[in-house]
Structure 1
Amino acid sequence: MPDEHRLEEKFLSQEAERRISEKLDEVEQIEIDVQTDLLKIAQGQADGVSVAGQGLVIQEGIRVQEIKLQTDSIAINPFNALFGQIELSEPVNAIARMILTEVDINRALTSDFVRSQMQNLELNVDGEIVSFEPEEIQVFLPGDGKVEFRGKVLLKEIGNTRPLAYTAIARPRTHSQPAMLESFNCTEGGGISIELITAFMRKAKELMDIPYFEWEDITFSIKDIQVEIGSLILLLEAQVRQIPSSTTVLSP
């Protein structure tokens, strides 16, 4: 950090780095900058917090190649801040830029945490519920704004359960265009009905159009997605209700 930072800024920033680093499974580099001074701490204020990190493994199998985050001015608990713990007194807005590599995305898709979130997805096919359980999935990032999926699912129709393999190409939602599913092809399993593929495409678009998602006490809203060869860049807005502490950063 720059030498001109005040002692209290350095203390809070270094203590925040230590607390977060201890609770990450792995971290190549992390820098946290708490922008404040002693008078503002005593008043329960800080101008903001910035975070820059590389190679962060937040839990087994889930890795972020790079993240940069900057908050607005924040209200903090002054007593806890004096002991090196940043505890928000009210929610704060932040902007973030996150890079995920193709390798890291595919590794995350095999993690127990992600697989537990992808079990028994349901489709409404002309009033009848059809579920499918993902068995394998791979993501490829060829660039040109496209994401390619290849996978296998267990399709559970009424009175019939069968495996199905597929390939699909999609364009994620960006600030200038909606999510688009360019193609979907069955490669094994005898194909599926027009009604089922229509319901599947509707579900895929619904998932790609989710306006926000939550992790711990942070609500993220995706504002733009850029697909480059081998990497996905997410531009996010976030509302932070509480900065992850030593007791919450790894909670599922």
Structure 2
Amino acid sequence: MQDEHNLEEKVLSQGAEMMVSQGLDEVEKIDINVQTDLFKILQGQADGVLFAGEGLVIQEDIRVQEIKLQTDSIDINPLTALFGKIELNESVNAVGHIVVTEVDINRAFTSDLIRTQMQNLELNVDGDIVSFEPQKIQVFLPGEGKIECKGKVLLKEMGNTRPFAYTALIRPRTHSQPAMVESFNCTEGEGISIELITALMQKAKELMNLPSLKWEDMAFKIKDIKVEKGSLTLMVETQVKQIPASITELSL
């Protein structure tokens, strides 16, 4: 009976792995374990699904070093499940983590997807609109919970456009502390006004305090952030509407 149980799980899991892999640009390793048996499949039930992957390239240059999610018990479509395709009848809760490396983050900033989303960022500075056109962004993860950013932008204010470069050292929010900016320095250009710095810090706070990120039909609620040397780990909760069949968009 145990062998039959293992065979059923293996067939369903391999079918789900094939379905997800086909929607990825690249994948180093993927492991989906559908925790069920034939009796439960016929009833449209499963104890849960463990989804784990390494080296997933979601779209162009958007890469995730590692992702691991474990769902609660789920209701599935028994007809499609018998053919190795997992379709959820109802959304299900899951917990896990996502790991991205320093290289992954910088690779993402060079992608057309991210560059398009970051064009002409606007700030309201005492009623005047000031826009930033990012030219270059580099992120470093030195460890000790810190993120270092270096960038160059075109600053457009009061009808004038001028180059501006900066370095910033920040600590993202965690379950025990709020987001913090340890330092912000102008490294090129004439500097910026106190009012603009205030508006910029407020925008940075909003970005660092984003409650979730989206991946297809899944909205990941960020519970904690851990920054180590060379990597960043997001501890997440999510509600899964469907096992991703094709992965086409990752956005904040």
Question: For the residues of structure 2 that align with 1:240 and 1:128, how far apart are their CA atoms?
Answer: 42
Report the counterpart of residue 168 of structure 1 in structure 2.
168
Report the counterpart of residue 133 of structure 2 in structure 1.
133
CA gap 1:117/1:4 in 2 versus in 1, 3 angstroms = farther
Cα drift, residue 127 of structure 1: 1.7
Cα drift, residue 4 of structure 1: 7.7
Report the counterpart of residue 207 of structure 2 in structure 1.
207
Q: Is this contact kept in 1: 2:220–2:237, CA < 8 A?
A: yes
More off after superposition, 126-135 vs 164-173:
126-135
Report the counterpart of residue 151 of structure 1 in structure 2.
151
Cα drift, residue 18 of structure 1: 1.2
Cα drift, residue 6 of structure 1: 2.5
How far does the alpha carbon of each residue in 1:15-65 deviate from its partner, in whole angstroms, 9 at most, with x for none?
Answer: 111121222111111111001111211222111100121111112111111
Report the counterpart of residue 231 of structure 2 in structure 1.
231
Q: Give the AA of the match of 1:250.
A: T
Q: Which secondary structure state, in structure 2, belongs to the residue aligned with residue 6 of structure 1?
A: helix
Question: For the residues of structure 2 that align with 1:226 and 1:5, how far apart are their CA atoms?
Answer: 38
Cα drift, residue 3 of structure 1: 6.5
Q: Which secondary structure state, in structure 2, belongs to the residue aligned with residue 200 of structure 1?
A: helix
- TM-score of the aligned structures, taking structure 2 as reference length: 0.94
Q: Give the AA of the match of 2:135.
A: E
1:83 corresponds to 2:83: yes
Matched length: 249
| Structure 1 unmatched ranges of 5 or more | none
Q: Is this contact kept in 1: 2:45–2:75, CA < 8 A?
A: yes
Compute the RMSD of aligned alpha carbons. 1.5
CA gap 1:4/1:63 in 2 versus in 1, 3 angstroms = farther
Question: For the residues of structure 2 that align with 1:5 and 1:176, how far apart are their CA atoms?
Answer: 43
1:23 corresponds to 2:23: yes
Question: For the residues of structure 2 that align with 1:166 and 1:28, how far apart are their CA atoms?
Answer: 36
Cα drift, residue 251 of structure 1: 4.6
Report the counterpart of residue 249 of structure 1 in structure 2.
247
Q: Which secondary structure state, in structure 2, belongs to the residue aligned with residue 26 of structure 1?
A: coil
Q: Is this contact kept in 1: 2:154–2:161, CA < 8 A?
A: yes
* Correspondence 1:114-129 to 2 at 5 A: 114-129=114-129
Report the counterpart of residue 59 of structure 1 in structure 2.
59
Report the counterpart of residue 178 of structure 2 in structure 1.
178
Identity of aligned residues (%): 72
Q: Is this contact kept in 1: 2:97–2:235, CA < 8 A?
A: yes
How far does the alpha carbon of each residue in 1:178-220 deviate from its partner, in whole angstroms, 9 at most, with x for none?
Answer: 1111111111111000000000000000111111122210000
Q: Is this contact kept in 1: 2:46–2:74, CA < 8 A?
A: yes
Question: For the residues of structure 2 that align with 1:228 and 1:62, how far apart are their CA atoms?
Answer: 20
Cα drift, residue 168 of structure 1: 0.5
CA gap 1:233/1:5 in 2 versus in 1, 3 angstroms = farther
Question: For the residues of structure 1 that align with 2:219 and 2:177, how far apart are their CA atoms?
Answer: 22
How far does the alpha carbon of each residue in 1:146-194 deviate from its partner, in whole angstroms, 9 at most, with x for none?
Answer: 0000001111112111111110011001011111111111111110000
Question: For the residues of structure 1 that align with 2:161 and 2:4, how far apart are their CA atoms?
Answer: 66
Report the counterpart of residue 101 of structure 1 in structure 2.
101
Q: Give the AA of the match of 1:214.
A: K
- TM-score of the aligned structures, taking structure 1 as reference length: 0.94
Question: For the residues of structure 2 that align with 1:173 and 1:4, how far apart are their CA atoms?
Answer: 47
Question: For the residues of structure 2 that align with 1:85 and 1:72, how far apart are their CA atoms?
Answer: 18
Q: Which secondary structure state, in structure 2, belongs to the residue aligned with residue 13 of structure 1?
A: helix
